[in-house]
Structure 1
Amino acid sequence: MKKTIISLGWIFVFATTAACSNSERESPSNIAVEWLNASLQKDQSTMLELIDQSTNALDPKEGAVNDLAIENYTLTEWKANDERYFYEIVYEHPDNQSVATEQMEVIKNDQGEW
């Protein structure tokens, strides 16, 4: 079940990602890192805030399950246009010390927010 929820979350984030108005989220690159941290922490509430389309797979009441966060990472950004960015994050997984890679798309929503 957890894998299904995480998989659905990734599908939605690849399709379209946006965020609520927040000074920390003014840059699309911040959203990419924030999504990855929320994913590692299994923080469904934050993940739900970050996706643009609503889903029943994520529970807005379920916060972080742990306090894992990426510290060592390389973020590569590709700008498609002023409203769409693509990212690749190569990071050291904080739990098992392995190197992992994630890719995602970040777009502005209809309100002009990331």
Structure 2
Amino acid sequence: MKVKAESKRKPTSSAQCFRCQMFALKEVVGMKVKAESKRKPTSSAQCFRCQMYGHVQYRCTAAHKCVRCAEGHPSRECPLKGKINITPKCAKKKEGKKSTRPKEERIRATLRR
């Protein structure tokens, strides 16, 4: 349904009007409510299956990648599990790094501000 506006304004859909009024709601079916705007995420998601960023384990279809040795097995089955003084390897490049992606550290630092 479109509501025709006066003069040179474009028609406004009823969905847009509802969104504008949604934050003004104080009560719904006798219950007090308060609408809040969407919050910025405090960190980006890291998949515990493939160790990449931007998605989570339950939606991942990639092969397993160990967080300790970057080999193709789940981290819980790693032969290095429980050993001391091991350097975690980058899951993408298989080099000794703390972060899977150095760019991700910059993104996290920006989100913390």
- TM-score, normalized by length of structure 2? 0.24
Rg (Cα) greater in structure:
2
Larger relative contact order, structure 1 or 2 (CA cutoff 8 Å, min sep 6): 1
Larger helix share, 1 or 2: 1
Q: Hey, which of these two has a bigger chunk of strand by percent?
A: 1
TM-score (normalizing by structure 1): 0.23
